């Protein structure tokens, strides 16, 4: 496919040819650097603070982000993984030819290696006095940013890439010009690290289970379907890890967790991406009360490690992750919010009638669980700004959770909400294989055959349970959403490096 180069790109392509014609390789194989930008500045400041005269000699490497030629001298800024540092080129040191080489053949966005020693300019900025430099990699396409300025050490970018479509489709360009975007993903990595530290320290074993599954399950969602050619077998991309992780409890692995990707074939929105990262753990001999306590402790730990404090601002709201969280029993919460007591309405028909009486239009033909789900997300979820557990869910939307003793219609399940978003979901896991089989059958019956979210029967899972599964508590949490909260981003796309966008025909 022939690529049409822009006029700006053509000029840079000509520079590449010109460099090669002069025996200068624009993409040399090896680079060298002794210090990052920050290390070089700190090294100089340390020597300066001691009042020493020794020269701090360094070799730096980075991307050219600003150039200010002034006749026989030139100032430039390069950016590397640590930040920015100014370069100072002077014809006296380099010769006029070499300075001209820099001014003519280097463009914004090019990677450069420069050596010299650090000094402080009249304006007070710690700067590399360049003795020699070379091209490390020529950029053909100009970076989508006009110009930057540095005010009191803060980089202010002007006319910087902001079109969300370009930012997400060309995330590399977004990352290259928007350092705060890099920070989001550093923080995301810190969150994952903290979660692993927390669980590892408590004896949880990190495992990996199949993404390609012959039978999907563990959540109510439409799967993606793929096909194995040689086996002539349709496979599903997993919608949760649950059924495989609980098989491991049968295998006497008492505490397991997995962090990985789930795939759900549903609509995309500011809080939904077709593939998203999930943490699930299963904990033998624990129940949902213990899981609740561990959840509080775990998120406080993450906040400590990632933010250094337990409070943060999300979309203008001050949120505290200090345990204990607020706890609201689902039945009571819905009663307070809507005046409807779900316990009085054991059937979908009765509940739909009560909703109509309360002026809420129920979705026609929806199962009781779906109606309750709708009530939660409309009347409760948006109000749950501070960390809150909603607990004790109806059995019919929780086919893998264990009933409350003495109340077969209610299960020991909770969901955690922060910032008006559902963050996690957990329950005392059902470990009775006969009850589980009955639940699978119920799901098949109560849900329309057309409803792709009904649970398929997983015979192997039932076989595993029949070997005996210890009582246990299980937990699932969306990592993307947690990252949204801790980076104050309204859109899930901001916290996924390459979010799904509709494919676009390229010319």
Among 19, 24, 83, 90, binds RNA (CB under 7 A): 90
For position 46 contacting RNA by CB under 7 A, the verdict is: no
CA 175 to chain centre: 15
Q: Applying CB under 7 A, which part among 307-315, 335-343, 461-469, 489-497 lies near RNA?
A: 489-497
Q: Of the two residues 371 and 465, which places its CB atom closer to RNA in the complex?
A: 371
Evaluate whether 283 touches 255 at the Cβ level (below 8 Å). yes
For the segment 145-204, give every residue that binds RNA (CB under 7 A): 145-151, 156, 158-166, 168
Size (the chain), residues? 507
Among 24, 38, 47, 69, binds RNA (CB under 7 A): 69
Least Cβ distance, residue 462 to RNA (angstroms): 22
- Picking from 377, 482, 472, the residue whose alpha carbon sits closest to that of residue 429 is 472
Least Cβ distance, residue 95 to RNA (angstroms): 11
Separation of alpha carbons 146 and 356, rounded Å: 57
User: How many chain residues interact with RNA (CB under 7 A)?
Assistant: 83
Least Cβ distance, residue 46 to RNA (angstroms): 20
Separation of alpha carbons 407 and 401, rounded Å: 13
Query: What are the E-state strand segments in 81-211?
Result: 83-90, 111-120, 126-137, 147-151, 154-158, 205-206
Q: Of the two residues 284 and 352, which places its CB atom closer to RNA in the complex?
A: 352
- Picking from 358, 299, 331, 361, the residue whose alpha carbon sits closest to that of residue 486 is 299
For position 282 contacting RNA by CB under 7 A, the verdict is: no
For position 260 contacting RNA by CB under 7 A, the verdict is: no
Among 97, 180, 505, 506, binds RNA (CB under 7 A): 505
Long-range contacts of 412-416 (CB under 8 A, 24+ apart): 412/287, 412/288, 413/288, 414/288, 414/291, 414/292, 414/389, 414/390, 415/389, 415/390, 415/391, 416/295, 416/325, 416/387, 416/388, 416/389, 416/477
Q: What are the Cα distances from residue 164, in Å, to 159, 168, 172, 179, 221?
A: 14, 6, 13, 16, 28
Among 396, 481, 484, 487, binds RNA (CB under 7 A): 481
Q: To 5 degrees, how large is the angle CA 433–CA 434–CA 437?
A: 85
For the segment 295-354, give every residue that binds RNA (CB under 7 A): none
For position 117 contacting RNA by CB under 7 A, the verdict is: no
Least Cβ distance, residue 106 to RNA (angstroms): 9
For the segment 361-380, give every residue that binds RNA (CB under 7 A): 363, 370, 373-374, 377-378
Least Cβ distance, residue 87 to RNA (angstroms): 10
For position 65 contacting RNA by CB under 7 A, the verdict is: no
Among 68, 261, 326, 356, binds RNA (CB under 7 A): 68
Least Cβ distance, residue 185 to RNA (angstroms): 18
Separation of alpha carbons 99 and 16, rounded Å: 18
Least Cβ distance, residue 179 to RNA (angstroms): 15
For position 272 contacting RNA by CB under 7 A, the verdict is: yes
């Amino acid at each position: 496919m022939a690529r049409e180069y822009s006029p700006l790109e053509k000029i840079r392509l000509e520079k590449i040819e010109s460099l090669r014609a002069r025996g200068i390789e624009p993409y040399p194989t090896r680079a060298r650097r002794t210090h990052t930008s920050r290390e070089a500045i700190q090294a100089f400041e340390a020597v300066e603070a001691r009042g020493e005269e020794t020269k701090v000699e360094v070799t730096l490497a980075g991307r050219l982000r600003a150039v200010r030629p002034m006749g026989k001298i030139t100032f430039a800024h390069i950016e590397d993984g640590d930040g920015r540092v100014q370069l100072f080129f002077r014809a006296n040191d380099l010769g006029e030819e070499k300075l001209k080489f820099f001014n003519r053949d280097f463009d914004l966005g090019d990677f450069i290696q420069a050596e010299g020693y650090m000094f402080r300019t009249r304006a007070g900025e710690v700067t590399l006095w360049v003795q020699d430099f070379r091209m490390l990699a020529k950029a053909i396409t100009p970076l989508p940013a006009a110009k930057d300025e540095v005010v009191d050490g803060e980089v202010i970018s002007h006319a910087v890439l902001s079109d969300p479509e370009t930012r997400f489709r060309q995330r590399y360009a977004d990352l290259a010009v928007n350092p705060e975007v890099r920070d989001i993903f550093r923080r995301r990595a810190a969150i994952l690290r903290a979660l692993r530290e927390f669980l590892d320290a408590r004896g949880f074993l990190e495992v990996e289970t199949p993404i390609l599954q012959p039978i999907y399950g563990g959540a109510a969602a439409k799967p993606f379907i793929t096909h194995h050619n040689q086996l002539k077998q349709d496979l599903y991309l997993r919608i949760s890890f649950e059924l495989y992780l609980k098989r491991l409890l049968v295998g006497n692995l008492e505490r397991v967790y997995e962090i990985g990707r789930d795939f759900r074939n549903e609509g995309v929105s500011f809080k939904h991406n077709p593939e998203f990262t999930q943490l699930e753990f299963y904990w033998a001999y624990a129940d949902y009360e213990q899981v609740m306590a561990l959840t509080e402790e775990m998120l406080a730990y993450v906040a400590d490690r990632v933010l250094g404090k337990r409070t943060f601002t999300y979309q203008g709201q001050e949120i505290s992750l200090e345990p204990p969280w607020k706890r609201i029993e689902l039945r009571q919460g819905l009663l307070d919010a809507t005046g409807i007591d779900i316990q009085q309405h054991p059937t979908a028909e009765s509940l739909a009638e009560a909703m109509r009486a309360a002026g809420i239009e129920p979705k026609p033909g929806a199962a009781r669980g779906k109606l309750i789900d709708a009530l939660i997300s409309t009347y409760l979820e948006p109000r749950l700004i501070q960390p809150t557990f909603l607990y004790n869910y109806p059995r019919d939307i929780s086919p893998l959770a264990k009933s409350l003793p003495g109340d077969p219609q209610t299960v020991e399940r909770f969901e955690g909400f922060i910032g008006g978003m559902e963050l996690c979901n957990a329950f005392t896991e059902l470990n009775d294989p006969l009850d589980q089989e009955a639940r699978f059958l119920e799901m098949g019956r109560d849900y329309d055959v057309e409803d792709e979210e009904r649970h398929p029967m997983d015979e192997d899972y039932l076989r595993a349970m029949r070997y005996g599964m210890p009582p246990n508590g299980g937990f699932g949490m969306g990592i993307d959403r947690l990252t949204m909260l801790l980076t104050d981003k309204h859109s899930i796309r901001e916290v996924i490096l390459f979010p799904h966008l509709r494919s676009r025909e390229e010319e």
